[in-house]
């Protein structure tokens, strides 16, 4: 490794050749402000546009300031990050951005979570010396998932990097030129008409409110305050290891019991865990996998829990629609059972039941509205809110979330196993399915349920799992760009698998577009991942087919897994979609 000698603020240090000034400064705890910079280590992706000019520093001997995020060090380089010249340049860059930015901070969805707002505070911007023409574009609210407000775009192009390089959806790019430029779909077409998967990774990295989720908290409040409505809520596994961050708790702190308590305080009539439906999904998905293996069915079988991934292959790989599992996602399975089995048990009219989902994902909002996922012309899931939206509701209600006494979820649809918990992390769905498939194929008890080969944060992974006489070949991908590479290899005959799990977001659902903002810090996602497996390890039951409430559901209502009634209620189909 070639090392070069440099000085930053008169402090000598050695760093590898090719290191940026920004990363070199971090080695001596010198903070240089940034806005457009984004570095995702798990994908090897860096946003390199250097467009915001907020990180300007003085390189002695150079006639102009240089951007620290993209300027590489060289032998003998001397840098001043705290000179008056550099500080004034940064302040001017932020003022220029603010001169063409709406001044509605008090009612902005990103208020107190906006990186531009934080920079203005940090750099002491107290007035804007540049007044000029403002952009005026209509908000795009065409989708169920994402709101695009071009007036708040600062052309950092982080969203473009996520959409094009990480997810390879290629939806977002620069629209218009000069003063009127912003990032959006080609020809500024509505998001709902594009090939957007609504994965929300653009929302997760946007520093302002140019991209946010559709907010449905008002709708939930109305349901909770309507005495004629029986309102039930389900909470996805990834929520419990992330929502605490919104209340000052450490990333990865498990808050399962506090969630149940908080939701009751909000006034929900039924408080349930989506982990129950994850166990139900495994009963169907493992059955489908075993059936395909034993009856020479289409292989590999792809998991279909992630709605962004489902929409991705409908647009990008319509010729391979026979490969994915036909199972509905846990969210939709829960809604289906709530409006059938649960309604019958509680003697309720399904029309008077409102199913609210708390999800880590903005794509779940669009999934709930898909016509093929309805029951008797009614949505299985009525409203979806994100982790951030639930946190906002709890704050509105003045609930001290961090100090709540833990409670359990309601019975009937609330019991879960460790297999349901690990759905929240990449590799978790296929590991849960393997735990059940192993016992069903071999007829033997699986003593060690931890399949460590299926875990990790590598974007593409593969493992062989021995199940009796069968060597189960498994592929795993998280991030849609990795999914694309995996599917192209399968299409070209380069890879042979029995089963594949794909999740759209970094780390799986724990890194979903509706989770508390991580601002590019992947260590936060890693802490959430570790917490998911810690929760699993502490569960009394860790295999989906051992869930007593699930067994009762089949015994009393569904019949056998992968049977006729299960197919009617819990399985679906996919439709080729245009690639726009």
Which positions are annotated as active-site residues? 285, 288, 305, 325, 364, 367, 372, 509
Structure tokens at 559: 């019949």
- Beta-strand pair 3-8/11-16: antiparallel
Query: Are 459 and 478 spatial neighbours (Cβ–Cβ below 8 Å)?
Result: yes
Alpha-carbon Rg for the chain, nearest whole angstrom, is 25
* DSSP designation for 20: B
Given a contact cutoff of 8 angstroms between Cβ atoms, the answer to whether 212 and 225 are in contact is no
Residue of 124, 125, 185 whose CA lies nearest to 153: 185
Per the listing, tokens 């063409």 go with: 100
Element of type H or E holding 232? strand 230-235
Q: Could you give the CA distance from residue 558 to residue 566 in angstroms, rounded to a whole number?
A: 6
* CA dihedral sign of residues 73, 76, 82, 85: negative
What angle, 0 to 180 degrees and rounded to 10, lies between the N-to-C axes of helices 256-266 and 387-396? 60
First vs last C-alpha separation in the chain: 45
In this structure, are residues 497 and 491 in contact, taking their beta carbons and an 8 Å threshold? no
Rounded CA-CA distance 162/505 in Å is 10
Distance between CA 428 and CA 451 in Å, rounded?
10
Measure the CA–CA gap between 502 and 308, rounded to whole angstroms: 10
The CA distance from 307 to 146, in Å, is 14
d(CA 35, CA 207): 7
Dihedral over Cα of 240, 448, 328, 426: its sign: positive
Are 157 and 49 within 8 A, CB to CB? yes
Q: What span, in angstroms and rounded, lies between the C-alpha atoms of 19 and 11?
A: 16
Question: Sign of torsion, CA 186 190 195 201?
Answer: positive
Burial class of residue 492, CB neighbours in 10 A (0-12, 13-18, 19+) = exposed
The residue length of the chain stands at 580
Read off the tokens for 1.
């490794």
Which residues have CB under 8 Å from 144's CB, separation 6+?
192, 198, 214, 365, 366, 368, 369
Residue 566 burial (CB count, 10 A): 22
């Amino acid at each position: 490794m070639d090392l070069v000698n440099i000085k930053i603020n008169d402090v000598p240090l050695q760093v590898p050749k090719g290191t940026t000034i920004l990363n070199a400064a971090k080695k001596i705890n010198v903070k240089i402000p940034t806005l457009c910079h984004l570095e995702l280590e798990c994908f090897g992706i860096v946003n390199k546009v250097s467009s915001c000019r907020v990180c300007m520093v003085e390189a002695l001997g150079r006639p102009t300031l240089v951007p620290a995020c993209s300027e590489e060090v060289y032998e003998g380089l001397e840098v001043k990050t705290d000179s008056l010249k550099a500080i004034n340049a940064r302040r001017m860059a932020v003022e220029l951005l603010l001169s063409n930015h709406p001044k509605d901070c008090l009612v902005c969805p990103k208020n107190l979570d906006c990186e531009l707002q934080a920079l203005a505070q940090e750099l002491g911007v107290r007035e804007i010396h540049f007044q000029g023409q403002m952009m005026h574009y209509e908000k795009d609210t065409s989708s169920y998932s994402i709101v695009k407000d071009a007036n708040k775009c600062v052309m950092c192009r982080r969203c473009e990097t996520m959409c094009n390089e990480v997810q390879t959806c290629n939806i977002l790019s620069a629209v218009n030129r000069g003063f009127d430029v912003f990032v959006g779909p080609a020809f500024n077409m509505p998001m709902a008409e594009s090939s957007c998967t609504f994965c929300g990774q653009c929302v997760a990295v946007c520093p302002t409110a140019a991209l946010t989720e559709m907010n449905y908290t008002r709708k939930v409040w109305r349901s909770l305050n309507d005495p004629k409505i029986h309102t039930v809520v389900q909470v996805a596994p990834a929520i419990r290891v992330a929502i605490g961050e919104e209340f000052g708790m450490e990333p990865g702190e498990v808050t399962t019991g506090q969630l149940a308590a908080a939701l009751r305080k909000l006034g929900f009539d039924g408080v349930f865990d989506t982990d129950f439906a994850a166990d139900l999904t495994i009963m169907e998905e493992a059955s489908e996998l075993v059936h395909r293996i034993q009856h020479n069915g289409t292989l590999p079988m792809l998991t279909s829990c992630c709605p962004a991934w489902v929409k991705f292959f409908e647009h990008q790989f319509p010729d391979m629609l026979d490969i994915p599992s036909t199972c509905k996602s846990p969210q939709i399975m829960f809604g289906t059972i709530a409006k059938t089995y649960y309604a019958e048990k509680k003697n309720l009219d399904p029309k008077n039941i409102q199913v609210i989902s708390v999800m880590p994902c903005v794509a779940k909002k669009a999934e709930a509205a898909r016509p093929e996922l309805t029951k008797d012309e009614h949505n299985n899931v009525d409203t979806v809110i994100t982790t951030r939206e639930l946190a906002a509701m709890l704050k509105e209600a003045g609930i001290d979330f961090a100090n709540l006494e833990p409670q359990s979820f309601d019975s009937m649809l609330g019991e879960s196993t460790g297999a349901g918990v690990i759905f929240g992390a990449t590799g978790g769905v296929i590991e849960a399915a393997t735990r059940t498939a192993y016992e069903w194929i071999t007829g033997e008890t699986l003593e060690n349920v931890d399949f460590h080969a299926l875990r990790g944060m590598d974007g593409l992974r593969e493992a062989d799992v021995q199940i009796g006489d069968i060597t189960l070949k498994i592929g795993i991908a998280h991030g849609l760009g990795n999914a694309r590479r995996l599917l192209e290899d399968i299409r070209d005959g380069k890879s042979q698998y029995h089963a594949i799990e794909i999740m759209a977001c970094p780390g799986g659902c724990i890194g979903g577009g509706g989770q508390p903002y991580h601002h590019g810090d992947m260590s936060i996602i890693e802490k959430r991942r570790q917490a998911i497996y810690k929760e699993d390890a502490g569960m009394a039951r860790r295999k989906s087919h051992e869930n007593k409430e699930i067994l009762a559901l089949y015994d009393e209502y569904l019949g056998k897994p992968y049977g006729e009634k299960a197919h009617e209620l819990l399985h679906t189909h996919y439709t080729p979609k245009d690639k726009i």
